[in-house]
């Protein structure tokens, strides 16, 4: 998993946390045939459930931008031109219109406990309404839109702990996985996964190669067993600090309330 535990802040906050990327940054990752992520994305693609678009929206410029960045990450020109671009890269893809803060196009196969069909066409405040501490994200929206519309490239990471190793966690396709009842922290940790997302924002250029109002939002989901994800005592310390400082609302939103105490005990033994 390509996740730096330095991304975990203490105290934990549900915040944008954008970091600027260079214009030549790599935003996409080739999807490896035979991987579990490939199998899950293929199943959704075969159902015809990956792409959604607001009627009348022209996604041509956004798709052209995505293809350019797919080739930059190593996808062949031939494969980048296929209609099944979602089967060429790991990332899920969303288009944001910075003029309206709405999401007119999505290519999402492995959402983290949200339903793309319910978010299509909505504004960012509406999308984040169920999110714990979502009011802070909404308050920052005007600044976020200004930042995203200036043609720069941006990156952020989000993370959680989960008892499920499935990439696709669409709430209508999969019932939530419950935390084990065992009081043994070691046993719980062996059934726990670190789920992280690298999210990036890349501008869609107009015909004159100038940044237009559209931005492509990429979401790369990464999953690794917790016992393997921790590489050092410092990783354990950072994760302990983030988990310990989550508010009650965030714990409920992330379904971590039943497991936090046992996970904190386990982590504390590792730094």
Model pLDDT for residues 107-137, shown as the tens digit of each residue: 999 999 999 999 999 998 888 877 776 677 7
Which among 109, 93, 108, 107 is positioned nearest to 44, based on CA atoms? 109
Residue 139 predicted with pLDDT over 90: no
pLDDT of residue 207: 73
Q: How far apart are CA 201 and CA 110, in angstroms?
A: 18
Q: How far apart are CA 65 and CA 216, in angstroms?
A: 8
Per-position b or e across 39-54, b if 16+ CB within 10 A of its CB: ebbbebbeeebbbbeb
Query: ∠92-79-120 over CA atoms, to 5°?
Result: 25
Q: How far apart are CA 178 and CA 255, in angstroms?
A: 9
Where do the domains of the chain lie, and which CATH numbers do they carry? Answer: 26-268 (3.30.450.20)
Residue 158 predicted with pLDDT over 90: yes
More confident residue, 166 or 136: 166
Q: How far apart are CA 262 and CA 117, in angstroms?
A: 36
Classify 133 in phi/psi space as left (phi over 0), alpha (psi -120 to 50) or beta. left
pLDDT of residue 133: 67
27 membership: H or E segment, kind and range: none
**Please, what is the angle between helix 260-268 and helix 233-244, to 10°?**
150
> Over the chain, what is the mean pLDDT?
93
CA 132 from chain center: how many Å? 16
pLDDT of residue 31: 97
The predicted-structure confidence for 233-271, as pLDDT tens digits, reads as follows 999 999 999 999 999 999 999 999 999 999 999 999 999
The predicted-structure confidence for 204-236, as pLDDT tens digits, reads as follows 988 777 888 999 999 999 999 999 999 999 999
Residue 140 predicted with pLDDT over 90: no
Q: Which residue do the tokens 């792409």 mark?
A: 51
The predicted-structure confidence for 183-192, as pLDDT tens digits, reads as follows 799 999 999 9
Beta partners for residue 52, in sequence order = 106
More confident residue, 13 or 49: 49
pLDDT of residue 85: 86
More confident residue, 140 or 93: 93
pLDDT of residue 134: 64
User: Strands across the sheet with 193-205, in order?
Assistant: 19-21, 153-162, 193-205, 211-225, 92-97, 102-107, 51-53
**Strand intervals (E) in 141-226:** 153-162, 193-205, 211-225
Q: In this structure, what DSSP letter does residue 255 have? A: T
Residue 182 predicted with pLDDT over 90: no
Q: How far apart are CA 156 and CA 18, in angstroms?
A: 5
Report the pLDDT averaged over residues 165-175: 95
CA 183 from chain center: how many Å? 31
Strand 153-162 to 193-205 pairing:
antiparallel
């Amino acid at each position: 998993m390509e996740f730096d535990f330095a991304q975990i802040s203490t105290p934990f906050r549900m915040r944008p946390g954008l970091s600027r990327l260079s214009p030549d940054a790599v935003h996409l990752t080739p999807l490896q045939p035979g991987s579990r992520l490939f199998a899950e994305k293929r199943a959704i693609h075969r159902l015809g459930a990956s792409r959604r678009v607001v009627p009348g929206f022209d996604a041509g410029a956004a798709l052209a931008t995505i293809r350019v960045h797919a080739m930059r990450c190593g996808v062949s020109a031939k494969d980048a031109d296929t209609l099944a671009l979602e089967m060429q890269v790991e990332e899920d893809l969303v288009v944001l219109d910075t003029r309206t803060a709405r999401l007119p196009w999505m290519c999402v196969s492995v959402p983290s406990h949200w339903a793309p069909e319910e978010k299509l066409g909505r504004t960012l405040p509406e999308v984040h309404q169920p999110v714990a501490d979502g009011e802070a994200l909404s308050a920052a929206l005007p600044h976020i839109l200004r930042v995203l519309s200036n043609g720069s490239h941006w990156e952020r990471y989000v993370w959680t702990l989960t008892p499920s190793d499935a990439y696709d966690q669409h709430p209508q396709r999969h019932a939530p996985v419950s935390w084990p009842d065992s009081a043994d922290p070691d046993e719980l940790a062996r059934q726990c996964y670190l789920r992280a997302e690298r999210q990036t924002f890349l501008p869609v250029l107009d015909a004159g190669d100038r940044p237009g109002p559209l931005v492509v939002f990429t979401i790369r989901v990464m999953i690794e067993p917790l016992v393997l994800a921790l590489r050092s005592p410092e990783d354990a310390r950072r994760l302990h600090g983030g988990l310990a400082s989550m508010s009650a609302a965030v714990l409920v939103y992330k379904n971590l309330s039943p497991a936090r105490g046992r996970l904190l005990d386990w982590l504390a033994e590792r730094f």
